[in-house]
Structure 1
Amino acid sequence: MLLRPLRLAALLAVAVLVMSAIPASAAMRAHRTASAGVLAPAPLRAMWVWDRPGVASLVDFATSNGVGELFVHVPSAPSLGWYTNLRTRTRAAGIEVHALGSETWWIDDPEAAVAWQREVLATGLFDGVHLDIEPWLHADWDADRSALLERYLHLLDRMAESPVPVELDISFWLHEITAPDGGRLDEAVLARVDAVTVMSYRDTATGPDSITGLGGTALAAATRAGKPARLAVETNDLGATPVDAKQTFHGERRARLVNVLAQVDAAVAANAAYAPSYAGIAVHDRRGWAAMKR
């Protein structure tokens, strides 16, 4: 009677070991492989990097934590020394680097966004573009939402002309918002970008108010659209209230984060409604994750 649980435990252990040894580019490549009907490897982690830590320590941290893609913030007209060094080391480690842009005002000036995108891609240092543009932070979200969303989707149309994949951060509740065409905003977004990262910020894996509970609707929409989608977790301090605490792993140990993320992987894999779109988990962010106690 104990044989089946023991076998399951052994298989899960092997899966964790395989996940930590997979080469980079897991999110896009794993999704494409699965879409082609081929058994895909378990997806690696991705990580936002907003600061400029030492390059060697950043790459070591990413490698030791199974991170295959870095979303690295790039300002306009950056000094390229740090990025060049990072790219040299990440190529050697098999880690992809995506240029992270996050200006809310780009919604009102898409040409500035396109100019930034062209500038960073012209360096040849980036494998893709990752956008953290959140229209709900714009003043017009409450004042004139319909017009704002028209401009937001136009911005995504312009950014999607990129020669490299464009991935976008979205809220887990985006399906509740009506797009200008009368459909769902999450579906309108998925029609324009190559992939999404769902900000499913909770510190439990399953249940109604959990990472998969919040992210499941977006994963299902991504599956219907044939696009990869990641879930995401937070590690920074968001505040002292119970609502703040449930949205982040801040103050918890890294071992619990690893355990919960493995539970998310397993839960998503068992759900046929959205497993095909699943491209792994992104951790926000390097600074918060590195500060967690072992």
Structure 2
Amino acid sequence: MSATPPALLGTRAAWVWDFRDPQGIIRAASHLRLRELFVSVPAEPAPDLPVLRQLALLAARRGITLAALGSATEWVLDHAAARRWRDRVLASRLFPRVHLDVEPHVEHDWPGGITWPDRRLVRGYLTLLDQFPSNRLEVDVPFWWETVPGLTRPSLADEVLARSRVTVMAYRTDPDAIIAVARDVLNRADALHTRLRPRYVRVGVSAAPVPGCPDCGFTAPDVLERALDDVV
């Protein structure tokens, strides 16, 4: 195992893509022993603040932290839009942290015929991360980003690890396979980890089927829970 802890103990988290049922969300989060929720907050239209406030209140009663989840791929090139979203979610005072799930490789219509991993997109992505306070930021990283060259570091995974906390998307269903695909990012975090600048990595899995990859996403909650217990 890497000497770098895969997130702090007691910090199991989950992505929440629909926050319209606060009570149901917190009930499920409590059952799964979650300590943080990455709550998707759309760039447009403006989110339903009363519902978010109710979710934040219920979460606080259970000791659960909320992070604003942003996933607009266009932010890679439109940093002004990212800053507007950042300012809005932080001004709400509902979210102590920000979580980004921005995946430039899934967008196939970049302007000017740019294709991933063109250095302009890598540079734009890293500039996007720099728009957020590093002590409040966590970023989703595909496990294979060690194959994407960085700008000043060996890989894009290293670049992100140097800027923020990371959730490595280790989308497998077998516990050994989950750790195996996360291993590279864990090792890279270990290389950067110091007492004064610790690097924390969560290992993320998909709680839903992944199209085209039968071994990448869980289909039954009880199987998911057993796998998480084995990994953690």
Q: Under a length normalisation based on structure 1, what TM-score does the superposition of the two structures give?
A: 0.69
Name the SS of the counterpart of 1:231 in structure 2.
strand
**CA distance in 2 between partners of 1:53 and 1:233 (Å):** 23
Q: 1:201 aligns with which of 144, 167, 171?
A: 171
Matches within 5 A, 1:1-294: 30=8, 42-76=9-43, 77-139=46-108, 140=110, 142=115, 145-159=118-132, 161=133, 165-181=136-152, 183-193=154-164, 195-206=165-176, 210-226=177-193, 227-239=199-211, 244-250=213-219, 252=220, 254-265=221-232
**CA distance in 1 between partners of 2:149 and 2:11 (Å):** 33
**Cα deviation, residue 179, structure 1:** 1.1
Partner letter of residue 71 of structure 1?
F
Question: Measured at CA, do residues 58 and 143 of structure 1 come closer, stay the same or move farther in structure 2, by a change above 3 Å?
Answer: closer
Name the SS of the counterpart of 2:131 in structure 1.
helix
Partner letter of residue 214 of structure 1?
V
Name the SS of the counterpart of 2:223 in structure 1.
helix
Greater helix percent: which structure?
1
**CA distance in 2 between partners of 1:219 and 1:114 (Å):** 30
**CA distance in 1 between partners of 2:190 and 2:82 (Å):** 28
Partner letter of residue 229 of structure 1?
V
Question: Measured at CA, do residues 262 and 184 of structure 1 come closer, stay the same or move farther in structure 2, by a change above 3 Å?
Answer: same
**Cα deviation, residue 144, structure 1:** 6.5
Residues matched between the structures, number: 216
**CA distance in 2 between partners of 1:65 and 1:175 (Å):** 31
**Cα deviation, residue 154, structure 1:** 1.1
**CA distance in 2 between partners of 1:134 and 1:107 (Å):** 9
Partner letter of residue 152 of structure 1?
Y
Can you list the C-alpha shifts for 1:9-47, whole angstroms capped at 9, x where unaligned? xxxxxxxxxxxxxxxxxx86x3xxxxxxxxxxx334211
CA contact (8 A) 2:104 2:116 kept: no
CA contact (8 A) 2:153 2:159 kept: no
Question: Measured at CA, do residues 67 and 143 of structure 1 come closer, stay the same or move farther in structure 2, by a change above 3 Å?
Answer: closer
**Deviation >4 Å, runs of 4+:** none
CA contact (8 A) 2:173 2:215 kept: yes
Name the SS of the counterpart of 2:130 in structure 1.
helix
Question: Measured at CA, do residues 182 and 100 of structure 1 come closer, stay the same or move farther in structure 2, by a change above 3 Å?
Answer: closer
**Cα deviation, residue 100, structure 1:** 0.3
Partner letter of residue 166 of structure 1?
L
Partner letter of residue 174 of structure 2?
T
Name the SS of the counterpart of 1:67 in structure 2.
coil
**Cα deviation, residue 182, structure 1:** 5.9
**Cα deviation, residue 145, structure 1:** 0.8
**CA distance in 2 between partners of 1:165 and 1:219 (Å):** 20
**Cα deviation, residue 82, structure 1:** 0.6
**CA distance in 2 between partners of 1:220 and 1:137 (Å):** 26
Partner letter of residue 225 of structure 1?
L
**Cα deviation, residue 104, structure 1:** 0.5
Using the aligned pairs only, state the percent identity: 33
Residue in structure 2 matched with residue 4 of structure 1 by the alignment: none
